[in-house]
Structure 1
């Protein structure tokens, strides 16, 4: 049993304890009220920047000012380690930023925390983590080249067609970067370190083998089981199994999710003969010099099948198998260029023209490619100040776009390649632009000299890496007109003349080197050549106006000696 003094001692301690707790609570309540005089409590910092004791707007201004003072540190590149590879990330390029508004929201929320208020009473700062944003898509694009060297790519699911036979491509997992965890690691490291390590993880396509097999059975196989009847106001068309197979695309997006669709461009190409029965093509305004003085040929509108809508409407009927039909709408299509537009742009006379020749007639694959690309460029209008891109005008030049295999230069020798001959048109177009006095933006001559082209002032092309670009630096529009015969291709520029003349002055060849003799393995890929010498040469473009030279542009190129290739046994 406790004695009376002992009981009084315990009771006394309890009273003191209760009083202390009450004092702390009162102090806490008082501190909360003290801290909450402003939106952001006193003593709150972000990256050492004092933003406390202010309204939201004032705190945001203080944070922005503090970040501006640290701009050099915020702009410092971040090194990202991925296994044995490194990638350098520029913060601005991937959208690394401090989200000021979200950070202020987080700082204001600390007002509900009594500990923050107590810290401010006792003069202690409460550090709030900045909210960091990053563009995940741009970040992954910056890191993917390095990750690809040490990781393994996923095999994306798909269904391909060989003729009208569908074949399943089953997915396989790979090793790469997980976008979410990679973005988290980069955000966390950006403001605190110069580098960060992100791990490779197993990445698998979203769609599975079962998904592929299901689409093979439910869509791809019945899709080509028979034709589809397409009805229009102008007549009836037939989409054959071959046309369906050529336009039905069953592939995956970047995450490996199967996305079946009918490709509008491929559908139009596959149905070209059928569409010609019901369509009237629009005709752009053009300039003709037939019979003497140039004149504008008026444009006309056209009526075409709405291929975009047809592609969408066709997909749902493909799983039905046989006895299928779909209705296609017709739409009025205006010409790309009207005669009124040509007149306003000052397109009234031919300002340049250039012709190159080819052999074999129009029946060879190379000649067909030259004609195909010429047709795609014919009628193009280049507005004042605009830069024309040949790759931008034609896009991919592949089998689906009407191009065939013909000799191209690959790894220093001629080999069969889709689109061979496009470089001859490129050279012809380059010279037409050159002699029109237009500004050269991008071109690259061939590695070897070919006598059918003018030395130095010629150009090759390869989609998408090599392009031909020139800028219309005049005050008038330019119409590109192309024409061909059985052995030549011509490109003419129509506009208003700016220069009296544009000519070329050549320097002497120098550093001449003779070709080597080499023997290649006989076979379909071997193309024998006579070889050519290598040399360096200058060409000056001389532009005259009002009888005076107003501009001289120097073009220089070094040709490699082309080996003399023979095909062995």
Structure 2
């Protein structure tokens, strides 16, 4: 009996051993076969790397993901071509292969390798900072802020500028789209752009234009400062008023008071209480600073806010804010301007007592004492304005359309010529000067300028770091312009001979407004302004002038 049991146990043990041997053989053989290789039927982002060594799998992935080449990025109708690596997007082939081989020698891994497929997402490295920079650069070329609506006026009629939507690159979605395009091995991608609406819709802008904006300029606005009163007419209101978005989906009035303050100051602020700029006077042959005076003045920003608040509240009266104020040019600023010596001066002569002399004297009086700050451009027309009888100008001859005619302010070109030469010898920048059409013998040839209103103007720029004080003086037969500042240059003038000389023609006219012309040949001439410092030439500037022949015009009496 014991022998039978022993035999049976032996057979069972042998059977178990055989089964274990078969299992070990079934597991061991694939394990040995798959050792060191990517499992069969392994897919990484659509690339079959099954059965390859890790090195070969990495090479295949790098080849396949590099095959599409540069990525065409389309956004808002624009296309740019960029390499994925320049976008900060690259494939980590080594990590991808390592993940494909992870656990492939376990029983479950062996079974999956023998009887199924294996899908491994590619591992993509993204340099978020670099990708963000590239997308931001694209956004600069694409993004367009919404154009907000506005209401201005043409006369008293509201003029509407309708709003327009903007657009913006969706940066977060753009990064996602670029990454997905890389994973899918596509060679192009379209980035999403979203619409950005204006803060106030067009319907609302039109509504305000038809109601609130019309009411705002329907009547005058009364301004008060203490017991003084002034009025802003509807036209003045409209000229400086706009309606703009308020940031809360509505529109508010915006009033620009800066240009109105000068006109209101005379009415609303006593003269002896206003600030006064520092000034200069010549004493003992030297410029002296006349100290400034502080005072009280209209606050432009405060007035703008007060007017806007009144219009918002439907009121027609505004209290004007008057504040303590310093003048634009204080004593300290004036002393730092370097106005200390004469740097340019010129005098021209003229016959006594003609009407044109009155005009020359009048324009000299207006310009006398004017200060041109560093970097400023002086405009003769901008300072003097239109010459008219109300300010003492009279009719005198001037050149117009090739003939002498009488006009109010005629003759002031002699002042422009005198100032041009002060600019010339002071070493300042010529911005705009226009020589006369005909040569006039009392002026230096090629070194003179005409002027009329509004054009041609005479302009020059103070290109020095110092202030320039203009002083004028005159006699019955001369006009002088002086510049006081800090000397920078020694200036000399050289002229060519006259060339391309053209003779004049002879004419007759019996008209009642005929003014005779003596006849002067035309010619061309070159003048050089020579800048010297310490006796050495620093540079030269050429002025080329062409004069037309002045006809000899004889005025004949009508028969």
Q: TM-score, normalised by structure 1?
A: 0.52
Partner of 2:188: 127
For residues 186-205 of structure 1, the aligned pairs below 5 Å read none
**Residues matched between the structures, number:** 403
Check 1:118–1:351 CA distance in 2 against 1; reply closer, same or farther (3 A cut): closer
Cα drift, residue 528 of structure 1: 5.3
Correspondent of 2:346 among 348, 351, 354: 354
Partner of 1:197: none
Partner of 1:142: none
Q: Distance in 1 between matches of 2:331 and 2:454?
A: 31
Partner of 1:336: 329
Partner of 2:144: none
Q: Distance in 1 between matches of 2:260 and 2:382?
A: 15
Partner of 1:479: 468
Cα drift, residue 299 of structure 1: 2.3
246-255 or 329-338, larger mean C-alpha shift: 246-255
Correspondent of 1:495 among 470, 485, 489: 485
CA contact (8 A) 1:262 1:314 kept: no
CA contact (8 A) 2:240 2:257 kept: no
Cα drift, residue 336 of structure 1: 1.6
1:390 is paired with a residue of what secondary structure?
strand
Check 1:347–1:453 CA distance in 2 against 1; reply closer, same or farther (3 A cut): same
Q: TM-score, normalised by structure 2?
A: 0.52
Correspondent of 2:82 among 49, 60, 69: 49
CA contact (8 A) 1:220 1:319 kept: no
Q: Distance in 2 between matches of 1:103 and 1:275?
A: 56
Cα drift, residue 348 of structure 1: 2.0
Partner of 1:223: 220
Check 1:548–1:399 CA distance in 2 against 1; reply closer, same or farther (3 A cut): closer
For residues 448-463 of structure 1, the aligned pairs below 5 Å read 448-451=438-441, 453-460=443-450
Q: Distance in 1 between matches of 2:364 and 2:387?
A: 14
CA contact (8 A) 1:389 1:467 kept: no
CA contact (8 A) 1:448 1:532 kept: no
Q: Distance in 1 between matches of 2:412 and 2:177?
A: 66
CA contact (8 A) 1:286 1:296 kept: yes
Partner of 1:429: 419
1:280-304 deviations in whole A, cap 9, x for unaligned? 342324251x3x3414224213324
1:272 aligns with 2:266: yes
1:310 aligns with 2:303: yes
1:297 aligns with 2:294: no
Cα drift, residue 276 of structure 1: 5.1
Contiguous gaps of at least 5 residues in structure 1: 1-25, 32-36, 68-73, 75-98, 133-179, 181-203
Partner of 1:108: 175
CA contact (8 A) 1:541 1:552 kept: yes
Check 1:262–1:350 CA distance in 2 against 1; reply closer, same or farther (3 A cut): same
Contiguous gaps of at least 5 residues in structure 2: 1-41, 48-60, 73-79, 91-125, 142-166, 245-250
1:284 aligns with 2:278: yes
2:517 is paired with a residue of what secondary structure?
coil
Which has the larger Rg?
2
Q: Distance in 2 between matches of 1:112 and 1:561?
A: 77
CA contact (8 A) 2:223 2:229 kept: yes
Q: Distance in 2 between matches of 1:112 and 1:548?
A: 67
Partner of 2:237: 248
Partner of 1:237: 228
For residues 30-41 of structure 1, the aligned pairs below 5 Å read none
Q: Distance in 2 between matches of 1:390 and 1:339?
A: 23
For residues 163-202 of structure 1, the aligned pairs below 5 Å read none
Partner of 1:378: 370
1:447 aligns with 2:437: yes
Q: Distance in 2 between matches of 1:442 and 1:432?
A: 14
Cα RMSD, aligned residues only: 6.0
Q: Distance in 2 between matches of 1:319 and 1:362?
A: 55
Q: Distance in 1 between matches of 2:525 and 2:450?
A: 17
Q: Distance in 2 between matches of 1:119 and 1:311?
A: 60
CA contact (8 A) 1:369 1:420 kept: no
1:283 is paired with a residue of what secondary structure?
coil
Correspondent of 2:527 among 536, 539, 564: 539
Q: Distance in 2 between matches of 1:57 and 1:421?
A: 73
1:294-331 deviations in whole A, cap 9, x for unaligned? 14224213324225233553466689999946233133
1:300 is paired with a residue of what secondary structure?
coil
Cα drift, residue 378 of structure 1: 0.8
Cα drift, residue 102 of structure 1: 5.4
